[in-house]
Amino acid sequence: MEQIAFYLFSVLTIGLFLVTVLSNNVLYAMTSLAAGMVLISGFFFLLGADFLGVVQLVVYVGAVMALYSFGMMFFDATKDIKEKNTSSYLVFFLSGMIALTLVIMFSAPIMGENIIASYPIMAGATNPQAVGLVLFTKYLVPFEVAAVMLLVAMISGIILAGKKMDDSLTTKDENHEEDDTFSRKDIK
């Protein structure tokens, strides 16, 4: 049962990500990316890591949505973009790597029998609790570093975007600048 589900999910995920990489249409690429991300959360559910699966769902749905908005700004979604793939070496290389990955995937269960988990699942702890325990004990330093990095990124994002935040284009109160922009547009 689990194996069927695993292979179904993996085939679907790889197929979808292939579409992401190979498609010329931004809409197909984005959609398959989002669907692949959603399907990856299926692996977490299969492993019994409900919390991580849901987090994967929530986080990547939002992240790909942000990518979509870039896609919307840069491309006409309904047109195919003509691209030429000139390098046949690249195709050879990629297909070889795919074959290698498949071999590793299928042989992984055999190798996996020898692996002993260094942090086995604690009895009685539910999923979020287990994640929390690991995050705040073993991985405390990377966690905090990641948090600081995100904070830095957020602050710099606000500074980059917020330079002209005080000049709202829509809520101007009978300002003369507004008239100017209109007249400039008219001249054009």
Partner 1 sequence: MDAIIIETIVKAALVIAVFSALAGFGTFIERKILAFMQRRLGPMHVGPFGILQIAADGIKLFTKEDIIPQHANKFIFMIAPIITAATAFIALAAVPIFPEFTVFGYTIHPIVADINVGILFILGAMASGLYGPLLAGMAQANKWGIIGSARTAILFMSYEVVTGLSLLAPIMLVGSLSLIDFNAAQTGGVGEWLVWQQPVAFILFIIAGFAETNRTPFDILEHEAEIISGYATEYSGMRWGMFFIGEYANMITISFMASLIFFGGFNEWGILPGGLAILLKVSFFFFLMLWVRASWPHIRPDQLMWLCWKVLMPIAILNVLITGLVMML
Q: Which residues bind partner 1 (CB under 8 A)?
A: 25, 27-28, 31, 34, 38, 41, 50-51, 54-55, 57-58, 61-62, 65-66, 68-69, 72, 77-78, 126-128, 168, 170
Measured CA to CA, the distance from residue 137 to residue 143 in angstroms comes to: 10
Six-digit token string for 22: 């190979």
Question: Least separation, in Å, of the C-beta of 175 and partner 1?
Answer: 17
Contact 81, 26 (CB under 8 A): yes
- Residue 13: phi and psi, rounded to 5, are -65, -45
Query: Residue 159: is it exposed, middle or buried by C-beta count within 10 angstroms (0-12/13-18/19+)?
Result: exposed
Measured CA to CA, the distance from residue 87 to residue 96 in angstroms comes to: 15
Question: Least separation, in Å, of the C-beta of 59 and partner 1?
Answer: 9
Q: What letter does residue 48 receive in the DSSP assignment?
A: T
Residue with smaller CB distance to partner 1, 78 or 88: 78
Contact 75, 81 (CB under 8 A): yes
Six-digit token string for 49: 């890591």
Question: Least separation, in Å, of the C-beta of 164 and partner 1?
Answer: 14
Question: Least separation, in Å, of the C-beta of 31 and partner 1?
Answer: 6
Residue with smaller CB distance to partner 1, 61 or 98: 61
Question: Least separation, in Å, of the C-beta of 34 and partner 1?
Answer: 6
Residue with smaller CB distance to partner 1, 10 or 31: 31
Six-digit token string for 156: 């710099």
Question: Least separation, in Å, of the C-beta of 3 and partner 1?
Answer: 17
Residue with smaller CB distance to partner 1, 58 or 145: 58
Residue with smaller CB distance to partner 1, 72 or 149: 72
Six-digit token string for 136: 């705040």
Q: Which residues contact residue 85 at a Cβ distance below 8 angstroms, ignoring those fewer than 6 apart?
A: 91
Residue with smaller CB distance to partner 1, 78 or 114: 78
